[in-house]
A = this chain, B = another copy of it.
Amino acid sequence: MSEDPLVVFTPSGRRGRFKRGTPLLQAARELGVDLDSVCGGRGICTRCQVNIGDGEFAKHGITSNNDHLTPYTDAEERQQKDGRLAAGRRLSCQARIGGDLVVDVPEESQMHRQIVRKRADARAIELDPVVRPMYVEIAPPDMNEPAAHLRRLEAALKETWGVEINGVDVHVLRKLHKTLEDGAYKATVIVRRGKRIVDIRSGFHDKIYGLAVDVGSTTIAMHLCDLLTGEVLASVGRMNPQIRYGEDLMSRVSYAMMNEGGAELMTMAVRDALNGLAQEVAAEAGVPLTDIMEVTIAGNPVMHHLVLGLDPTPLGFAPFALATDDATILLASDIDLMLNPGSRIYVLPCIAGHVGADAAGVVLCEMPYKAEEMTLIVDVGTNAEIVLGDKHRLLAASSPTGPAFEGAQVSSGQRAAPGAIERVRVDPETLEPRFKVIGDDRWSDEEGYNVRPTGICGSGIIEVLAEMYLAGIITADGVIDGSMAERSPRIVAQDRTFAYILHEGEQRITITQNDVRQIQLAKGALYAGARLLMDHMGIETVEKITLAGAFGSHIDTKYAMILGMIPDCDLAKVGSAGNAAGTGARIALLNGQLRRELEEQVRRIEKIETAVEPKFQEHFVDAMAIPNKTASYPNLKKVVTLPEPKFSAADAEDGGRRRRRREGRGRNDEAAE
């Protein structure tokens, strides 16, 4: 009596003996090998294709080749002819075991394939979407076996896919009969979380897409992903149309407070934009809107509330109570998105009143809850959202930085757009600047340079201030040193203080004393928030810093550290995560298990309210100095020679006045100064 053939799957290495005649797909399933299928083993979808090892595999002690499988079936020959099955490959649902085999499952045949992430330090994400298409062939209705369509459909899903359905959308019931009839009782069912029928299509259908959305106060970004491959097929973005109701978050909350129906107007505006973006991204990818079955949304708490149609006004006053901080699941139609009627929205959870679903997205992107190193993550915006911790413990807070980093409240400031100065160097000898503008690779001191800058964006401001500080133009307490006017005509008197002329021309670009103050306030708040979390964590240094958000991605981390925006850290360990909130939304779109993980982690995060911590004010005042009155920067000093601290006499008084003003007013009022 000969033994059953041995089958070894690679790369998993899982192996087992199977009766001759067993389909490879069945063997894979029994061994728990990750092998995709949409058609349920009917030779239609070609997703289960495998390579058959050819030759002797000493390691496995067997000889493997195609002769150890049943011959190519009609379905395989048809798929080969159509170019959907590469030469030498087999469909594992068709090929049956006839002898010992080594079967290689290529990456694209794995259901839970790894999603490639661009950043070297980013963790791999496994594809595991909450919606799956499942093809079934069901028995037509029969007088002798009367059973409702849904019951027969559920039976077929259970038999072919092993899923237990416990609910169905009513729009599916409405088209059930016609869809089944049209497809001669062959249909593809879109199943959510392995238990709810959210759509049905006649015949075989393996197209299923999702949208990952990051609703920022300034811009909205949307990515269309193929839920079966994890691929981003198209990305679009546009300005948040709510801007006409207020530039920053707090002015939008004020608009809602002061105008009856104001919140509803802003809700309509953002939903219109989401519909417009969905149409745009779908058109770009050539995907019908009705194939979009799932949407994930990240956004700060105010955006979170406005998209959901929740009253944002409580977010304008202490204690900044969110309506809900749970992840919210609802129908796309509940927020007026015109996609497939069965498509669902997953809104990421919020962490706290000012640490929103965008910060949760950042957490999902960066996964500090798995970090060995003590990691500081800062998502810089009008409010900086700050997360600190490692796999043992996580803290979060928000800090009212105001909009200065985005170019607002700065005399020549502008958004990061072509024409904006983004890089600056100041010669410490001559005090002459050179710069680069967005959209041009040259430095302004190059031969024949003729670009006319239109303003300066956030990263440019950071650099020019840091360079001015390094050149001695700005003192450690942030005063533009008027005595330097002797050395350069670029330092000029203005309104009883001094200013630095960065660019002279049609559009004169100057850095004023007030500009320096605005950035000091912003960076002071940011640093103080981070430092407060470090106090709570009981640490003096962090091992890794990640900057997220558009601004965070653009700034040169060295200059950010020179200005003291962030604590000292090995500069090699300071990096950017790009639009981490948007990436978090995309991860949540592609992996349902990681949603659960995020929800658990978010509940575990300790929330620190900067507004009620006296230490915050102390750190804030210290952090008004450049880089900081008390904190030392040993790592930075290995790379950059910082000037000897030089304080102006006026500063002590000035800082004190600001401090009192700040304490006397509500949080975020800095934005309105």
**For residue A324, which residues in chain B have a CB less than 8 angstroms away from its CB?**
148-151, 168, 173, 176
Contact B311 A143 (CB under 8 A): no
What are the residues of chain B within 8 A of A319 when measuring CB–CB? 141-143, 146
Beta-carbon nearest neighbor of A607 in chain B: B146
Against B, the Cβ 8 Å flags (1 = close, 0 = not) of A178-194 are 10000000000000000
Residues of B contacting A310 with CB < 8 Å? 173-174, 176-177
Give the contacting residue for A173; candidates B173, B321, B323; CB below 8 A.
B323
A617, chain B: closest CB distance, angstroms: 15
Contact (Cβ within 8 A) B146 A177: no
Tell me if A58 is interfacial: C-beta within 8 Å of chain B: no
Residue of B nearest to A169 (CB): B330
Report Cα–Cα, A49/B330, bound state, in Å: 41
Q: In the complex the two chains form, is B144's CB within 8 Å of A322's CB?
A: no
Complex Cα–Cα for A72 and B175 (A): 62
Write out, one digit per residue, whether chain A residues 315-359 have a CB within 8 A of any chain B CB (1) or not (0). 000111111111010100010000000000000001011000000
Does A390 touch B at the CB level, under 8 Å?
A: no
Q: Are A170 and B318 in contact (CB under 8 A)?
A: no
A612 at interface, CB cutoff 8 A: yes
A313 to B181, CA, bound (A): 12
- Smallest beta-carbon distance A149→chain B, Å: 5
Structural contact, B330 and A148, CB atoms closer than 8 A: no
Q: Which residues of B contact A433 (CB under 8 A)?
A: none
The proximity string for A residues 7-18 relative to B, scoring 1 for CB distances below 8 Å and 0 otherwise, is 000000000000
- Asked if A25 is an interface residue, CB under 8 A from chain B, the answer is no
Residue of B nearest to A667 (CB): B143
| Chain B: minimal CB distance from A338 (Å) | 17
Is A609's CB within 8 Å of the partner chain B? yes
Contact of A330 among B149, B170, B323 (CB under 8 A): B170
Report whether B323 and A176 are in contact in the complex, using a CB–CB cutoff of 8 Å: yes
- Asked whether A592 is an interface residue with its Cβ less than 8 Å from the other chain, the reply is no
A350, closest chain B residue (CB): B148
Residues of B within 8 A of A150 (CB): 322-326
> A15: shortest Cβ distance to chain B, in Å?
42
In the bound complex, residues from chain B placing their C-beta under 8 Å from that of A353 are 146
Structural contact, B146 and A320, CB atoms closer than 8 A: yes
Instruction: Check A611–B143 contact: CB distance below 8 A.
Output: yes
Contact indicator per residue, chain A 132-158, by CB within 8 Å of chain B (1) or not (0): 000000000111101111110000000
A401 to B413, CA, bound (A): 84
Are A148 and B609 also in contact (CB < 8 A) when A174-B309, A310-B174, A311-B177 are?
Answer: no
Chain B residues with CB below 8 A from A236, complex form:
none
Separation of A322 and B173 alpha carbons in the complex (Å): 10
Q: How far is the CA of A38 from the CA of B621 in the complex (A)?
A: 53
Of chain B, the residue at the smallest CB distance from A329 is B167
Task: Determine which residue in A151, A308, A323, A324 has the highest number of CB atoms from chain B within 10 A of its CB, and name it.
Answer: A323
Show the binding face of A for B, using Cβ within 8 Å.
141-144, 146-151, 168, 170, 173-178, 308-311, 313-314, 318-326, 328, 330, 334, 350, 352-353, 607, 609, 611-612
A-B contact pairs, 27 of them (CB 8 A): A141-B314, A143-B609, A144-B609, A146-B319, A146-B320, A146-B321, A146-B609, A147-B325, A148-B321, A148-B322, A148-B324, A148-B350, A149-B322, A149-B323, A149-B324, A150-B323, A150-B325, A151-B326, A170-B308, A170-B330, A173-B324, A174-B309, A174-B311, A176-B310, A176-B324, A177-B321, A177-B323
